[in-house]
Structure 1
Amino acid sequence: MDINDIAAKAAAKIDAARDVRVNAVKTAAASSVELLEAAQLLAVAEQKYAKDYQSALRADWTESDLRGFGLDAPAKRTGGRPRGGKATRQTKTADESHVPASTQTTGTDSQ
């Protein structure tokens, strides 16, 4: 046997194995790109559905009506101001705000 033939066969085997590995990574990378694109499309579709669902509610349909038509409430709400009453800001009581913490009593007076 010729040493060069043996080396060529070994190199061919290594090259073939490398090509298989490289192609596996390329295939996985392509799938990853497809997955990211699909996730972006899904996010856009979910946002549009949430907006359209809210439009249906503003058009005097109830959530019960929409469920009856086979429309589930969107998983994510659209952005904007939350529904409901005005948010109230909690403040300290007048006693707590004017008395330093070191002079407040703890309920046990030492007389």
Structure 2
Amino acid sequence: MDIDNIAAKAAAKIDAVRDARVNAVKTAAASSVELQEAVQLLAAAEQKYAKDYQAALRADWTESDLRGFGLDAPSKKAGGRPKGARTRQSKPANDAASEKELIGTTSENW
């Protein structure tokens, strides 16, 4: 029985197991990168489709017309500025108080 031969076989077995584990992680990491790239491509395609679908609606096609052509409404809205959203500027407390005084003064004069 050669001790060095046994140790070499044990080391080879450990190395083979380690290499298999490392390769499994490398394969999973490559798939993860591929998946993330696909997710980004899908998001870009969905956004483009939403914009193009909205352009078709602006070109006087109806959603019913587009469905008739086999085009479903996009699952996500096209990006951009929201319609109808307006911000109101609040008046400072002093301006609101002086406005009430003016309203009270003018109603007495009428």
Shorter-chain TM-score category?
0.7 to 0.9
After the TM superposition, which residues 64-103 of structure 1 pair with which residues of structure 2 at under 5 Å, given as runs? 64-83=64-83
Structure number with higher helix proportion: 2
**TM-score of the two chains, using structure 2 as the length reference:** 0.75
| Structure 1 residues 88 and 64, CA gap change in structure 2 (3 angstroms) | farther
Q: Distance in 1 between matches of 2:83 and 2:68?
A: 23
Partner of 2:108: none
Partner-residue secondary structure (3-state), 1:77:
coil
After the TM superposition, which residues 12-91 of structure 1 pair with which residues of structure 2 at under 5 Å, given as runs? 12-83=12-83
Q: Deviations over 1:33-64 (max 9, x none)?
A: 10000001001100100000000000000111
Per the TM alignment, residue 81 of structure 1 is displaced from its structure 2 partner at its CA by: 3.2
**TM-score of the two chains, using structure 1 as the length reference:** 0.74
Q: Distance in 2 between matches of 1:35 and 1:58?
A: 34
Q: Which runs of 5+ in 2 are unaligned?
A: 91-95, 98-110
Contact kept, 8 Å, 2:50 with 2:74, in 1: the verdict is yes
* TM superposition outliers: structure 1 runs of 4+ over 4 Å: 86-89
Contact kept, 8 Å, 2:53 with 2:74, in 1: the verdict is yes
Q: Which runs of 5+ in 1 are unaligned?
A: 92-96, 99-111
Q: Deviations over 1:19-39 (max 9, x none)?
A: 100000000000001000000
